[in-house]
Structure 1
Amino acid sequence: MKNFVFLIVAIILEVIATSTLKKSENFTKLLPTVITLAGYAGAFYFLSLTLRTIPIGIAYALWSGIGIVLVTITAYFIYKQKLDLAAIIGIAFIIIGVIIIQLFSKSSAH
């Protein structure tokens, strides 16, 4: 269970880092740049902790899939980025994939 907490922390830090990447304006704005770099460093650190018990492919699939969904939601609210139907359907497939891995995969460490 602790490793899934590490994975959740990794995902949250990656979402924060990715969301502030745009605000860093090509790393020319100090605070967003620091947040971005610290967020990615922390995300990779906590992702590495999950690899003690969660297979790398499963951990990365969950990390990137959930991250994509959360960054998309964040971008909608912060940057007012709209999604068309194809993007919504694609993100729904990502969510379905994460659910299938969590509920049915014997590769995932439960």
Structure 2
Amino acid sequence: MHPYLALGIAIVSEVIATSALRASDGFSRLWPSLIVVAGYGLAFFFLSVTLKSIPVGIAYAIWSGLGVVLISLAAWVLFGQKLDAAAVIGMGLIVAGVVVLNVFSKSSAH
């Protein structure tokens, strides 16, 4: 499996799990709680697959950075969370940082 595909699956699984974590209401609701456990399990499994090919610092920077942006967008769409200008600018900087790591860093696996 291509390492960036595995990383993408890890990121999406983590975003789904985190969204379900809010919906689980402190693990008091069964189905959202099961989605949390399965989602985080998949996320860590696919992150471990990624780490066979991509250095841990780079993989984690991409996973956490894109995860922050995607979970913020999911919270905005699903839960009505407000995103002010500072939040949008901050997320833009996170994305820019991930791009810089991947395009310009010699640490990244190309």
Paired residue total: 110
The reply on whether 1:84 has 2:84 as its aligned counterpart is yes
| TM-score, normalised by the number of residues in structure 2 | 0.97
Q: Tell me the equivalent position of 1:105.
A: 105
- Percent identity between matched residues is 53
| TM-score, normalised by the number of residues in structure 1 | 0.97
Letter in 2 for 1:96: A
Q: Tell me the equivalent position of 2:49.
A: 49
Q: Tell me the equivalent position of 2:63.
A: 63
SS across alignment from 1:6: helix
* Structure 2 Cα separation of the partners of residues 95 and 48 of structure 1: 22
Q: Tell me the equivalent position of 1:72.
A: 72
* Structure 2 Cα separation of the partners of residues 88 and 35 of structure 1: 28
Map 1:15-34 to 2 at 5 A.
Answer: 15-34=15-34
Letter in 2 for 1:68: V
Q: Tell me the equivalent position of 1:2.
A: 2
CA RMSD, Structure 1 to Structure 2 (Å):
0.9
* Structure 2 Cα separation of the partners of residues 65 and 91 of structure 1: 8
Gaps of 5+ in 1: none
